[in-house]
Amino acid sequence: MLPIVLLSVFGIVMLFLGFMKSRAVLLPAALLFLLVALGTSFLDWGHSYLYFRDMLLVNNQTILFSAITMLSAFMVIALSGDFLQDEAAQPAEYYAIMLFSIVGAIMMIGFENLIMLFVGVEILSVSMYVLTGSDKKNIRSNEAALKYFLMGAFATGIMLFGMALLYGAVGSFTITDITAFVSLSRGGISLLLLMGLMLVLIGMLFKVSAAPFHFWTPDVYDGAPTLFTAFMSTVVKTAGFAALLRLLMAVSATSMYDRWWQIVAGITVLTLLAGNLTAVYQNSFKRMMAYSSISHAGYLLIALAALGQQSNGALAFYSLAYSVATIAAFGILLLVAKQRGKDGQRDETYEAFNGLAKQNPLLAFILAVSMLSLAGIPLTAGFWGKFMVFSTAVEKGMVWMLVVAVLMSAVGIYYYFRVVIAMYFRTGEVTAIRVAPFYRIVLIVATVLTIVLGLAPGLVQGLI
């Protein structure tokens, strides 16, 4: 609970810091606030507590997923040094909103009552609507924010209706009561309960960009400022899947699982196909990353469809590996698109990366490692993430789903390697990309994490 209180206070403090004449203090303050919140979250490690009138559960699972979101937010904010030189930017407001959004993410991750889940989803969603439309002079940003808001409002309505049906079936909003109700039903599951669960699932699947609820994703990712795209593709996805895991664990009794796993499995396959096959045809690196995000939602859904003892660890490790690699990729896109843009327009196509390895071998290496990890190549964190997720499918005997996932992983190698080929085998501009020292350190840390977790995945598995 302490991180929720601290981040709420820190967000307000950040708004007041925005009144200072100098902006230099904002970035260090935001990073310090996140480090303090991250450190205090581990004070409850090894214990299990209920807070806010038993509406929020804090245990190791909550702490682990919360730590991944705070680490992701820390790395994204660390890449935001350009805000301090941009007169049009409002860094104090941006940092405050991001701190508040982490509060919503933690509420989603540790919810014990469906009302807490709803409040968390809304805090996180409203924050993302604002950040997506923060580039007010950019028509694409405005369009993305409007689409995100409309689809988010639609999803919220569906989710609320589902919660009402769940309450009608169980007579309670708490996870404990829902679990007890399902366990005692012994095969006599009511249609009301099943419909309620499906509607809540649909509402949450909108948030994690699973097909066929993914239509807003490419436009929103494309239109939002790149830094906030990195934030939403990591923090929102991690919080969304942690919430889905908690919800589905509550209805994992055999009588109920037999009814919903086939629906989740169908959505999983559809998400894998839609994300990977559409990414192949993209000419924009940023849009490719949007469809890549959809495909990774598909891989994460495998661990939910094959819900078992390994699912928790697989989702946590995969979320960490995906977040680190994605932030590194978007960090380099931010530099390349800005410094190789033409006529004041950012260049986010594959061509912008041509010849990057000759002028900036370090940046090319970092981006290559992140692409390898996202593709699931051995000796990277992404490989072990996929291995753990695929293992859950094997444990449940879902070999057919595993075959689809492996085939789609092969397709993913094609579009991830397009940027690697552009960097190492094509000629481009001779001007080197300028990188600020702190920015370089963050990218190096992300790469080291990807490699270390690829070589020694047990370092994190021991915490799970």
Residue among 322, 212, 215 nearest 268 (CA):
212
- Exposure of 386 in the CB half-sphere (CA atoms within 13 A): 24
68 by DSSP, 3-state: which? helix
Q: What residues contact 17, with CB distance under 8 A and at least 6 apart?
A: 25, 26, 29, 92
- Structural element, H or E, at residue 449: helix 437-455
pTM for this prediction? 0.94
- Determine contact, residues 356/423, Cβ cutoff 8 Å: yes
What tokens were used for 179? 């679990």
By CB atoms closer than 10 A (0-12, 13-18, 19+), residue 208 is buried
**By the 8 A CB rule, do 321 and 385 touch?**
yes
Token duo for residue 324:
């680190």
Write down the pLDDT at residue 461: 66
- Tens digit of pLDDT at every position of the chain (464 positions): 789 999 999 999 999 998 887 788 899 999 999 999 999 999 888 888 888 888 999 999 999 999 999 999 999 999 998 877 777 778 899 999 999 999 999 999 999 999 999 999 999 999 999 999 988 888 888 999 999 999 889 999 999 999 999 999 999 999 999 999 888 876 667 888 899 999 999 999 988 989 888 878 888 998 999 999 999 999 999 999 999 999 999 988 877 888 889 999 999 999 999 999 999 999 999 999 999 999 999 999 999 999 888 889 999 999 999 999 999 999 999 999 888 877 777 888 899 999 899 989 999 999 999 999 999 999 999 999 999 999 999 988 889 999 999 999 999 999 999 999 999 998 877 678 888 999 999 999 999 999 999 998 877 766 66
Q: Which residues pair with 108 in a beta bridge?
A: none
The token pair that represents 305 in the structure block: 């469809």
pLDDT value at residue 464: 61
H/E stretch holding 57 reads strand 56-58
CB 114 within 8 A of CB 166: yes
pLDDT score, position 276 = 94
CA distances to 295, 303, 370, 417 from 308, rounded to whole Å, are 22, 8, 29, 33
Q: Answer yes or no: are the C-beta atoms of 462 and 389 closer than 8 Å.
A: no
* DSSP tag of 51: E
List the structure tokens of 140. 């694409």
Predicted pLDDT at 191: 86
The answer for residues whose C-beta is within 8 angstroms of residue 463's C-beta and 6 or more apart is 60, 64
Preceding omega of 437 cis (within 30 degrees of 0): no
- The residue type found at 292 is S
Structure-token pair, residue 118: 């709803």
Residues β-bridged to residue 174: 113
Do residues 23 and 84 touch, judged by C-beta distance below 8 A? yes
Burial of 72 (C-beta count, 10 Å sphere; 0-12/13-18/19+): buried
Tokens representing residue 197 in the block: 């669960």
Tally of CA atoms within 13 A in the half-sphere of 247 that contains its CB: 32
End-to-end CA distance of the chain: give it in Å, rounded.
20
- Do residues 367 and 419 touch, judged by C-beta distance below 8 A? yes
For position 24, what pLDDT does the model report? 84
CA distances from 194 to 170, 265, 307, 396 (A): 11, 16, 17, 22
Distance CA 10, CA 370 (A): 32
DSSP SS3 for 342: strand
d(CA 463, CA 42): 11
Please name the residues in contact with 355: beta carbons below 8 A apart, sequence gap of 6 or more. Answer: 423, 426, 427, 428, 429, 430
